[in-house]
Amino acid sequence: MEQLINMVLLTLLAAITFGIIRVRNLFAVVVLTGAYSFLMASVMIVLDAVDVAMTEASVGAGISTVLALGALYLTRTEEAEPRYSPLLPGIVAAATGAILVWGTWDLPPFGSADTPMNTHVGADYLARNMAETDIPNVVTAVLASYRGFDTLGETTVVFTAGIGVLMLLKRWRRAARRED
Amino acid sequence: MRLDTILRVVVKIFIPFILMFGLYVQLHGDFGPGGGFQAGVIVAAGIILYAIIYGLRAAQRAVPPGLVEILMPLGVAIYAGVGIAGFVTGRNYLDYSNLMHGDMIHGQHWGVFLVEIGVLVTVASTMLAIFYAFAGRGRE
């Protein structure tokens, strides 16, 4: 059953990807990327990664779609014809994809218990978590307590990225005012 | 979309539920999926929805851009401040074990709770600030 659901989801993902490549109307592309994110969130749920699924649905399908629509409002909604031949980028993309597929051959089978991921710290967290933090959702305990430093870094990255966007867009506004 | 009555009414009914769901995701992150990051995005999405339907100016009256720009560093400061509180209580930076006078589990609960609030504040305000910056550009 799970395999069937995965097949359906991945087929739809591939179809939407081809749609995104083929469609020239950027509004349709934004909507398709939103659908792509929701499908990806469903894949994450099938993989039992509900926290990631929630992030994908809210960030990928929610905020990104809104920001893309906001950007679309400032530009034209038809994609321009490419000025150069797409041959070289196509070759680069195909080669990268081939290398990635080649890389998956060395991966252990999905969910196997004797990988480093499942035998070292992961098992340790699961064993110690309830006694040390009493937080049933181990993901939260690892994110906020055991790996608190990493999450502080992530929060700082979000903050820094926001500051960067604000500086770029606000400077643009001031420069436009000076031209008037 | 100023004149679309159905959208305006539906959005007005929906926004409290979206914000409440954001709080649920935030406060229930210890037991189910979710946490500060997801909750922050959901809260920001609720306000952005308001801005899309009722106009940017109405949203900025409810949540002023100046406040948003104060909240962005405030969340990081809350997070880092909890880390320093770990220092003050005689443990390592970001070690919450001693926050509640030696009761380790209680201290961990409080530490995680406060840190997640820091994440919520920074993520929600950053998303909102980026949206304000994008949406504000078109008018000029």
Of A62, A132, A152, the CB nearest to B83: A152
Residues of A in contact with B65 (CB under 8 A): none
**pLDDT of amino acid A84:** 82
Q: State the pLDDT confidence band at A178, using cuts at 50, 70 and 90.
A: low
CA distance, residue B105 to nearest chain A CA (Å): 5
In the DSSP assignment, the letter for residue A80 is P
pLDDT reading at A17 higher than 90: yes
Q: Which residue of A has its CA nearest to B119?
A: A155
Interface-testing mutation among B24, B50, B52, B72, with chain A (most A C-beta atoms within 10 A)? B72
Q: State the pLDDT confidence band at A176, using cuts at 50, 70 and 90.
A: low
Interface-testing mutation among A52, A63, A171, with chain B (most B C-beta atoms within 10 A)? A63
In angstroms, rounded to a whole number, what is the distance separating the alpha carbons of residues A166 and B131?
10
Cβ-defined contact of B129 to A63 (cutoff 8 Å): no
Token look-up 């710290």 returns A121
Q: Which of A126, A124, A131 is nearest to B97 (CA)?
A: A131
What is the average pLDDT score of chain B?
Answer: 89
In angstroms, rounded to a whole number, what is the distance separating the alpha carbons of residues B11 and B72?
26
Cβ-defined contact of A172 to B52 (cutoff 8 Å): no
In angstroms, rounded to a whole number, what is the distance separating the alpha carbons of residues B116 and B122?
10
Cβ-defined contact of A58 to B41 (cutoff 8 Å): yes
**pLDDT of amino acid B18:** 94
A36-40, B19-23, B35-39, B98-102: which range is least confident on average? Answer: B98-102
pTM of the model: 0.85
Interface-testing mutation among B109, B137, B139, B140, with chain A (most A C-beta atoms within 10 A)? B137
Tally: H helices and E strands in chain B: 5, 0
Over residues B86-104, mean pLDDT: 85
**pLDDT of amino acid B115:** 93
**pLDDT of amino acid A173:** 57
Of B69, B112, B138, the CB nearest to A145: B112
Cβ-defined contact of B79 to A162 (cutoff 8 Å): no
Over residues A75-94, mean pLDDT: 85
A22-26, A58-62, B25-29, B98-102: which range is least confident on average? Answer: B98-102
**pLDDT of amino acid A7:** 92
Cβ-defined contact of A144 to B133 (cutoff 8 Å): no
| A89 close to A101: Cβ distance less than 8 angstroms | no
For the record, the structure tokens of B8 come out as 């305006």
Q: Concatenated DSSP letters for A2-59?
A: HHHHHHHHHHHHHHHHHHHHH--BHHHHHHHHHHHHHHHHHHHHHTT-HHHHHHIIII
Q: State the pLDDT confidence band at A113, using cuts at 50, 70 and 90.
A: confident
